[in-house]
Chains A and B, each alone.
Chain A
Amino acid sequence: MADHGPTEKMNLFTAVNGALHIAMETDPTACVFGEDVAFGGVFRCSIDLREKFGPHRVFNTPLSEQGIAGFAIGMAAVGHTAIAEMQFADYIFPAFDQLVNEAAKFRYRAGGVWDCGGLTVRSAWGAVGHGGHYHSQCPEAYFAHTPGLKVVVPRGPYQAKGLLLSCIRDRNPCVFFEPKALYRAAVDQVPVGDYNLPLSKADVVQEGDDITCVGWGTQVHRMLKAAEMAKEEGISCEIIDLQTILPWDVHTIEESVKKTGRLLVTHEAPLTQGFGAEIAASITERCFFSLEAPIKRVCGYDVPFPLIYEKFYLPDEYKIFEGIKEVCA
């Protein structure tokens, strides 16, 4: 971890809140808006912003994700910084058209003369224990199928703050998914000041020799637990947090797999057509002769996210551990 000055204990939502404060302070064109944002947001991420920066820059929107995305693109198109919140990633789909057909193609279709690079869409993402169909989903793969967007998922408070600030300042439209299970649960020493973490750069969380395990967000913590179990079996795991889903860092993974000869990818979202498929295909192309076993995906089942079956549905540490043993057998 690079030195970014004095730190403070923060959880993921306070880290996000800290990033938003800095973004608003350092950029007078920046605005934060979305459903229930004014009173601090249903996950408290926008707390105190309105008091500090005023109701014109921090505001509730009418209840329309399509409207939020379109409005944000419009602001960004004329040079403002738009930080829009989608209350849950499960509710981002009304905005899909605006993000996929408008934001993502804004620069390309204008031959580079127009862009909406000042757009960042934040959204609460992933399983939380009791969310059922519509408070649990991980829709990153849908967006990863969209050239022109950047898609980012932090695994903890430190990454959340640095990556969010990078997204806000990046000159491309970014979708930033925040693992809501970690809003309170994950705590780091986080720099109080301003810092950016690089986009499109995977993070090697733990080095190892026998197998490379790639995941993002909440899965990183499950991979770490599985790696502990594997260690007792004498298997050394290299754990990589992909961090940016699009455009993704193939090189870090390629390098790791060339070293370990084995790869496991894991995500909460359903297996079929998940981003794990993209990683597996690319790594097969690039590392075929280094691979000692087929690439393993440990993912959600191909079903909607089911409330009372959540703990059976999730690709938890035990399933990852089983996957690791299978690949290393």
Chain B
Amino acid sequence: MNGGGEASGGGEASSHRTVLDAIHQMEHKVLTAIQQLEERLSRLESSVTSAAVSGANPSAALSDSTSKPPARSRGDLVVPPAPRPVTGRTAGTPGVQDGAPRAPSAIDTTARLMEEDRRRAEEAKLREEQARKHREMEEARKRQEQEQKQREEEEKAKKRALLDEKRKALLGTLVQDGPTNSKPGVGRCAPPLFSSSVRRLHTTPPARGTEVYHAGLITTEFTTSLNISKQSQVIPIFRVLNYDGELDAGWELPFSKEEMLDKYKFMVRLSVWDDMMYNIQRQGRISFYIQNMGEEAAQTGSGSALSIDDHLWCQYRELGVLMWRGFTLEDALDQCFSTKGDEGKGRQMPISYTKKDINLQTISTPLTTQVPHAAGSGYAFKLAGEKRCSVAYFGEGAASEGDFHAALNFASVLKSQTIFICRNNGYAISTPVKDQYAGDGIAIRGLAYGMQTCRIDGNDLVAVYIATKKAREICVNNSEPVLLEFMTYRMGHHSTSDDSAQYRPEGEFEAWNQPGINPIARVRKFLVNAGMWDADQDAELRREAKSTMIAEMKKGEKKKRYPIIPGVFDDVYDQRPWNLEEQAESMQAHLAKYPQQYDQTQYESSA
């Protein structure tokens, strides 16, 4: 691992070699210093862990640990925490603050945790020292470089840049390669995923100059030009299927043409059913509905790129995502009609879908609350070593809530297996995006949180699919979160309680409904171009979708509701406490006394 710089520097001028030699010397010193620190560390460890552990050969560990990078310690990390209160059967375990060796038999889980804490704190302290040593070495190196610079007038800037590169690469190897937790018997073998997160924290400090090292920055760079600015990099919109329904040069369909046709049919059915649901609300047959019109490609493309093992944390305008993974029209109608077929037992408003066996977590109307859940569950998947992720869907309006920011930051810092999908559809009820944020969309926030990020044409089925597929790969394989921003347009009202004519500028809908821009029509263009589809087939598909819906509605409307008791009182807790028992009884008595006042015919009887 020491050879990298040398090998590639072999053909350079001898002056370079001098510098490289100096660097190697320096490196040697650094490594020796680290070795000494490691020795201290391991002595410390053996004093606080069991006799068996203290018997382990410390030098065996040392040879591995020399490559450990300096820790990016922050002040608050180096204070050793007070030992946790010991409870239960461990109460008699003596504290280990004095560092004296203890009998191995006395160490059980709780005590080990305590020691882990202590050890980590000590380790952090030592690492900080290591880091300081590193910095000193870097300073020394810098001085040498400057001497060198005086001797070598020619091309000094160019060469130094070159050497800098190599040195960084070298230190990079030191950082990346170090097996951090390979000591036998110490009981600190973290799962592999842990070590990857540890490694990230140990990112090489920028090894430039004599300046202090700013632990909270990705790059430490100084400038003498004052520049207060709100400029950010342009985040382009990834699009591969153009407005003529043609794939842009360099791109092929990521699936077969037949699959493209399947997805098209799916989107058409979705849009037909969505429209009919809206209409049955208008007729008063359901109490509320939220349309998906305009976002069919974003839903279908992303939904079909996920795995059914992935958990969905939706907002409410994602029916296509659910349906792709097996949420049926019957399921949707059961929920909207509040029949006993609704797993949520009719307790929530229409569109608040839930279904366990397709890993759909319950839709909850308080906005953005599900987004941190997705960060947490994605972290749990990582800990369990599972090849699945959590997916949070939310609108650009919801992204203004504090929960959004907390979720992204948590997921990014803790490396959750979570995909955050923002549907940027131009509106939050009546509020246009210009009243929602002044920055460059939502994607820019992903970058700010150090997260893999992509902005996509949400009306391009193919681009959405490709990007989501890739995002999932990154998320699950690298164990890190990804933010996707789908640029799309809410073509319907916010909900059936809204009239968008009150605030939607004239012509806007029409612009988004042009055949190349409308997400369904764009795919139809592709299929027609490919000779796979025509107007008759299209009309037939729509007819079929309608009649399916009519049949399902008839079925759904006949179904009864979940019984009143236990419907009202179950599931508040896993078991009913006394107050709910009493209240259930009192309600039953009341309903019996006033049968005329409470229509119970729609409900299944509790017997």
Which residues of chain A are near B562, meaning CB under 8 Å? 308
Q: Binary interface profile of A, 73-107, with partner B (CB < 8 Å = 1, else 0)?
A: 00000000000000000110110000000000000
Q: How far is the CA of A303 from the CA of B288 in the complex (A)?
A: 22
Main SS of the interface on chain B?
Answer: loop
Contact A131 B431, beta carbon cutoff 8 Å: no
Option from A35, A67, A134, A322 in Cβ contact (under 8 Å) with B366? A134
Which residues of chain B are near A130, meaning CB under 8 Å? 287-288, 349
Chain B 393-450 residues near chain A, CB threshold 8 A: 397-398, 400-403, 428-431, 435-437
B512 close to chain A: CB less than 8 A: no
> How near does chain A come to B383, taking the closest CB pair, in angstroms?
28
B352 close to chain A: CB less than 8 A: yes
Chain A residue with Cβ nearest B561: A308
Chain A residue with Cβ nearest B342: A308
Contact B594 A318, beta carbon cutoff 8 Å: yes
Option from B401, B502, B568, B598 in Cβ contact (under 8 Å) with A303? B568
Q: How far is the CA of A65 from the CA of B429 in the complex (A)?
A: 15
Contact B568 A313, beta carbon cutoff 8 Å: yes
> How near does chain B come to A150, taking the closest CB pair, in angstroms?
25
Contact A66 B402, beta carbon cutoff 8 Å: yes
Chain A 263-281 residues near chain B, CB threshold 8 A: 271-272
> How near does chain B come to A84, taking the closest CB pair, in angstroms?
15
Q: How far is the CA of A106 from the CA of B562 in the complex (A)?
A: 48
Which of A12-20, A36-44, A230-238, A243-251 participates in binding chain B?
A36-44
Q: How far is the CA of A39 from the CA of B502 in the complex (A)?
A: 8
Contact A301 B564, beta carbon cutoff 8 Å: no
Contact B429 A42, beta carbon cutoff 8 Å: yes
Q: Binary interface profile of A, 26-55, with partner B (CB < 8 Å = 1, else 0)?
A: 000000000110111010000000000000
Q: How far is the CA of A66 from the CA of B405 in the complex (A)?
A: 13
Which residues of chain B are near A313, meaning CB under 8 Å? 568
Contact A307 B580, beta carbon cutoff 8 Å: no
A63 close to chain B: CB less than 8 A: yes
Contact B366 A63, beta carbon cutoff 8 Å: no
Chain A 129-151 residues near chain B, CB threshold 8 A: 130-135
Which residues of chain A are near B402, meaning CB under 8 Å? 64, 66-67, 94
Q: A134-B365, A301-B583 are in contact. Are A67 and B349 (CB under 8 A)?
A: no
Contact A302 B347, beta carbon cutoff 8 Å: no
Q: How far is the CA of A63 from the CA of B449 in the complex (A)?
A: 20
Chain B 551-589 residues near chain A, CB threshold 8 A: 561-562, 564, 567-569, 572, 579-580, 583, 587
A304 close to chain B: CB less than 8 A: yes
Query: Max chain A CB contacts within 10 Å: which of B288, B347, B587?
Result: B347
Which residues of chain A are near B403, meaning CB under 8 Å? 94
> How near does chain A come to B227, taking the closest CB pair, in angstroms?
27
Q: How far is the CA of A90 from the CA of B348 in the complex (A)?
A: 14
Contact B430 A38, beta carbon cutoff 8 Å: yes
Q: How far is the CA of A319 from the CA of B572 in the complex (A)?
A: 22
B255 close to chain A: CB less than 8 A: no
Q: How far is the CA of A135 from the CA of B365 in the complex (A)?
A: 9
Q: How far is the CA of A110 from the CA of B365 in the complex (A)?
A: 38
Q: A132-B348, A301-B568, A306-B568 are in contact. Are A318 and B429 (CB under 8 A)?
A: no
A309 close to chain B: CB less than 8 A: yes
B497 close to chain A: CB less than 8 A: yes
Q: How far is the CA of A272 from the CA of B590 in the complex (A)?
A: 20
Which residues of chain A are near B397, meaning CB under 8 Å? 62-63
Instruction: Give chain B's interface residue range (CB within 8 Å of chain A).
Output: 35 or more
Contact B428 A35, beta carbon cutoff 8 Å: yes
Chain A 113-136 residues near chain B, CB threshold 8 A: 130-135
Contact B347 A309, beta carbon cutoff 8 Å: yes
B597 close to chain A: CB less than 8 A: yes
B372 close to chain A: CB less than 8 A: no
Chain A residue with Cβ nearest B429: A36
A290 close to chain B: CB less than 8 A: no
Contact B569 A303, beta carbon cutoff 8 Å: yes
Q: How far is the CA of A63 from the CA of B288 in the complex (A)?
A: 22
A60 close to chain B: CB less than 8 A: yes
> How near does chain A come to B26, taking the closest CB pair, in angstroms?
51
Contact B431 A35, beta carbon cutoff 8 Å: yes
B593 close to chain A: CB less than 8 A: yes
Contact B347 A304, beta carbon cutoff 8 Å: yes
Which residues of chain A are near B365, meaning CB under 8 Å? 90, 132-135
Option from A36, A91, A301, A303 in Cβ contact (under 8 Å) with B431? A36
Q: A133-B365, A301-B580 are in contact. Are A309 and B349 (CB under 8 A)?
A: no
Option from A61, A132, A134, A312 in Cβ contact (under 8 Å) with B564? A312
Option from B288, B435, B561, B567 in Cβ contact (under 8 Å) with A62? B435
A311 close to chain B: CB less than 8 A: yes
Which residues of chain B are near A271, meaning CB under 8 Å? 579, 583
Chain B 340-373 residues near chain A, CB threshold 8 A: 346-349, 352, 364-367
Q: How far is the CA of A139 from the CA of B288 in the complex (A)?
A: 23
> How near does chain A come to B428, taking the closest CB pair, in angstroms?
5
Q: How far is the CA of A87 from the CA of B44 in the complex (A)?
A: 58
Which residues of chain B are near A35, meaning CB under 8 Å? 428-429, 431
Binding site for B on A (CB under 8 A): 35-36, 38-40, 42, 59-67, 90-91, 93-94, 130-135, 271-272, 301-304, 306-309, 311-313, 318-319, 322
15 more CB-based (< 8 A) A-B contacts, given A39-B503, A90-B365, A307-B287: A61-B435, A62-B435, A63-B401, A132-B348, A132-B352, A272-B579, A303-B580, A307-B338, A307-B348, A309-B347, A309-B568, A311-B598, A313-B568, A318-B597, A319-B590
Binding site for A on B (CB under 8 A): 287-288, 338, 346-349, 352, 364-367, 397-398, 400-403, 428-431, 435-437, 497-498, 502-503, 561-562, 564, 567-569, 572, 579-580, 583, 587, 590-591, 593-594, 597-598, 603
Closest A-B pairs by Cβ, 3 of them: A62-B400, A308-B346, A132-B349
What would 11 A/B residue contacts be, using CB atoms closer than 8 Å?
A39-B430, A40-B502, A42-B429, A66-B401, A90-B366, A130-B287, A132-B352, A301-B568, A301-B587, A312-B598, A322-B593
